[in-house]
Amino acid sequence: MSLIAELAQQYIDGRWQPGSGSWDIVDLDPYTGEKLASFTVATAEEIDRAYRAAERAQPAWAATSPYERRLVFERALRVVEEREEEILGAMTAELGGTLLKSAFELSLVREMLREAGSLALRAEGKILPSPVPGKENRLYRLPVGVVGVISPFNAPVFLSLKAVAPALALGNAVVLKPHQDAPVTGGTLIAKVFEEAGLPAGLLNVVLTDIAEIGDAFIEHPVPKVISFTGSDSVGRHVATVAAGHLKRTVLELGGNSALVVLDDADLDYAVDAAVTSRYLHQGQICMAANRILVDRAVFAEFSEKFTAKAASLVVGDPGDPATQLGPLINSAQAEAITGEVERAIADGARPLLHGSTVGTLVRPTVLTDIPADAPILRREVFGPVALLIPFDGEDEAVRIANDTPFGLSGAVHTADVERGVRFAQRIDTGMMHVNDGTIADEAVVPFGGEKSSGTGRLNGDSSIEAFTTVKWISIQHGRSQFPF
């Protein structure tokens, strides 16, 4: 039995079990169309059981020494390392990611597990001064209790763990709902890793289901105090609205429309390499991908020629082949949507420098330029292998174009003058900017998150402590207080 077929079950209160819904979700290989597994969806009743199990298990876990909690993450890291080939195979099969992309994601997973282990020891309290004679103010940092995590399909092992691991390390329990296109790699695989690492039952529960079955039950349930969501801005707005109605805190990592900017003094060959990777890695299905590539008009012709040639040379095909650089999109609906997006942009006046074909879920690279300023594609997140090349005249125009989007996640600028690049980066309304690098970066200790419609809150490092803990003030009066009555 394959790892995916083995793990196509619900994981609730430490037990593997089928869902009790009336229908199944079929897990397909996006490249071959082969059925990998099917699972019966969880119902709202099972959502309740998962949250109640987490609620029961959490107090004892919070009382456990953080040094003991850290050991779980050390063991989880060893499990990942020992089963690396099996995990990589599951990622390639379920997600259609190339071997290069899967290995890159797994490297981020390892770093996140290491960082989570250290977070267990870093939730520090404080003693604060008081204007009242004899009063001592203690500020305790405590776990919030139970965290609900909703994760996406594009980098599901890492993006699930990005919330799950810190939340657990800080003494919380978690219920995880992975995307239905990544139920194993985004969900039950993680449960299996922690089960083998010795995490006590009930602390991590994984429910495989769909909103068509459970509605908003996952968000509305009274147990979770924080909802962490990674996905599209449209769904994120809904999550935020529902959670706010129940006075729940949210951490939202949403979409992007990042710009990679090439100034007139940039190393063009290096900038081309950075831009091609930033746009086409994992077929463009990355929230930090460079949707828009802005190039100073003085070097636009040379850059465009080199960029288009490199994009045309990318190897598209079987994600299991080490030579493949672009694999399939996650499903046929996404491939059709991207193809339609390109055709509409061309109909609106965009000029294709490279017009990639679509066969099934394989979408070859497209490069568009001369895009009308009011074209919708300029302001949307394009979750596929489509690059938009946009010339500009001077830095002020580049800043205006880069900021002309509802999103503000990542970005990059290329220049021979590093400090010029920093000054430019400071003018862009994003949560992250990179000088002389790509737009795709995530480091376990550096705050990750966006501005505008790209989300609220930050994760990684100390930001995860803020996200998944709360503070409690306990004062001690030494001696007698003076009361007015």
- Is 287 assigned a catalytic role? yes
Among the listed residues 195, 185, 197, 196, the one whose alpha carbon sits nearest the alpha carbon of residue 161? 185
The answer to whether the beta carbons of residues 397 and 373 sit under 8 Å apart is no
DSSP string, 177-205: E--TTSTIIIIIHHHHHHHHTTPPTTSEE
Catalytic hit among 195, 253, 341, 395: 253
The answer to whether the beta carbons of residues 228 and 222 sit under 8 Å apart is no
Give the distance, in angstroms, between the CA of residue 484 and the centroid of all CA atoms in the same chain: 54
Among the listed residues 155, 156, 154, the one whose alpha carbon sits nearest the alpha carbon of residue 176? 156
Element (H, E) at 470: strand 469-477
Q: List CB contacts of 41: < 8 A, sequence separation 6 or more.
A: 19, 21, 23, 24, 25, 208, 209, 210, 213
Q: How many CB atoms lie within 10 A of CB 417?
A: 13
CA torsion 423→428→432→435, rounded to 10°?
A: -40
110: amino acid identity, one letter:
R
The answer to whether the beta carbons of residues 67 and 157 sit under 8 Å apart is no
Say whether 143 sits in a helix, a strand or coil. strand
Catalytic hit among 55, 287, 341, 395: 287
Measured CA to CA in angstroms, residue 334 lies from 102, 235, 285 at distances of 20, 16, 10
Strand locations in 337-468, DSSP E? 351-354, 358-359, 362-363, 366-369, 386-392, 407-408, 411-414, 434-435, 451-452, 455-456
- The DSSP 8-state label assigned to residue 377 in this structure reads G
- Is 253 assigned a catalytic role? yes
- The DSSP 8-state label assigned to residue 437 in this structure reads S
The answer to whether the beta carbons of residues 6 and 13 sit under 8 Å apart is no
Q: List CB contacts of 458: < 8 A, sequence separation 6 or more.
A: 251, 431, 447, 448, 449, 466, 467
C-alpha–C-alpha distance, residues 307 and 236, integer Å: 34
- The DSSP 8-state label assigned to residue 378 in this structure reads G
Q: Which residues are registered as beta bridge partners of 250?
A: 227
> Catalytic positions, please?
253, 287
